[in-house]
Amino acid sequence: MQQMQNLQTLHNDALVIGVDVGGTKIAAGVVDNQGNVAGRIQVPTDTSSPEDTLRSIAASVKRVLHDAGSNAERISAIGLGIPGMVDPVKGMSLLAVNLGWRNVSVKDWLERELGLPCSIENDVSAATLGESLYGVGKQQEYMVYLSLGTGIAARAIIHGQLYRGAHGMAGEVGHVVIDPSGPLCRCGAKGCLEALAAGPALAQAALRELQSGKASSLQEYQAADLRAEHVFEAAVHNDALALQILQKAGLQLAYGICLLVMGYDPQLVVIGGGLASEQSPLIASIRAGIEQWRTRAPVFHAMLNVDAIRVSGLQGDAGIVGAAALVAAQRKIVL
């Protein structure tokens, strides 16, 4: 009964289910029109086939509806954040590499299956919207949201609205080539920011150094188990290798932020995604990197105050809240 009690605390109007679709798990919850979340659940993503993945999404929504009990009738719509290229007007996923999707009619399928209207958008776009409506970016005219996780991408709020560009790809800073001699990115280019500084890249950088004989507390991990979070933990305990990896990544991510600031001249840059928390040593490294770039580049210094770099306050809920926010926002987005 705890979920139902939670739902009772939500604002009475316009309840929506927000669904954050990832390559390994799907998170969903009920969101009210003030960004409050209740009845959070999580299910594994079945990527055996596009239809199986759609069934996983439908299962997540059905579980939320079931947990909501008699409150389910207050839920009027579903919003979904999906990785990759999305056409929100047609309700299609055009390309989602880690789901194995290409031209999948997500909206039609789910609306038939669930009997509720669905809105879909790119997951980072959804999180950006959530951050601008309910997070630290509230009431900012010009905001950039940088998502750091297994991938890296950014989106911008311009004149208070999500900015998509011609293909919904505006802000794809993760696939800017930063180091042409760097590691191969899953996009096919070499040395993209994502291939250098996203979660898997940090773990791989540690592995390469360990294999070349560097001493580190990270040696205790099997190669297949080593994750970015272990690098963070080692850095907190002053492991020299971990600190060196995060220092380099921090400078590269700060450069990515320079690029975003040059493009959008924002009032605020919000860092979110799975790797972002105020206490994370990665955030400390990014802040140090920003300081270095501000010293090196006077124009960047003039355009960005240090206070203008903030960490998302929505944390794990950003994806769910943002996806739910799509339902109302898509009536306003200029596509």
Residues forming contacts to a second copy in the complex (CB under 8 A) are 141-142, 158-159, 163-173, 175-177, 180, 187-190, 192, 255, 258-260, 262-267, 293, 296-300, 302-303, 334
Closest approach of Cβ 298 to a second copy, in Å? 4
Closest CB to a second copy among 107 and 175?
175
Q: How far is the CB of 100 from a second copy (least distance, A)?
A: 17
Residue 101 CB, nearest approach to a second copy (Å): 15
Which helix (H) or strand (E) is 57 found in, with range?
A: helix 50-68
Question: CB 213 → a second copy: shortest distance, Å?
Answer: 29
Do the beta carbons of residue 40 and residue 143 sit within 8 Å?
no
CA gap 121, 101 in Å, rounded: 14
Phi then psi dihedrals of residue 79, to 5 deg? -115, 135
Comparing CA positions, the residue from 148, 244, 132, 133 lying closest to residue 200 is 148
Find the angle CA(321)-CA(323)-CA(327) to the nearest 5 degrees: 105
The number of residues making up the chain comes to 335
Residue among 29 and 256 whose Cβ is closer to a second copy? 256
The DSSP letter of residue 269 is: E
Q: Is-contact 122 21, C-beta < 8 A?
A: no
User: Which CB atom, from 55 or from 186, has the smaller least distance to a second copy?
Assistant: 186
Beta-strand runs (E) in the chain: 15-21, 25-31, 37-44, 75-82, 85-87, 92-96, 101-104, 118-122, 143-148, 152-158, 161-163, 268-272, 309-311
Q: How far is the CB of 147 from a second copy (least distance, A)?
A: 15
Shortest spacing between CB 307 and a second copy, in angstroms? 13
Cβ distance to a second copy smaller for residue 153 or 320:
153
Residues 6+ apart with CB under 8 A from 115: none
Q: Are 220 and 233 in contact (CB under 8 A)?
A: no
**CB closer to a second copy, 67 vs 121:** 121
Identify which of residues 152 and 326 has a Cβ nearer to a second copy in the complex. Answer: 152
- What is the nearest approach in angstroms of a second copy to the Cβ of residue 188? 4
**11 versus 167: smaller Cβ distance to a second copy:** 167
* Chain-centroid distance, C-alpha 53: 19
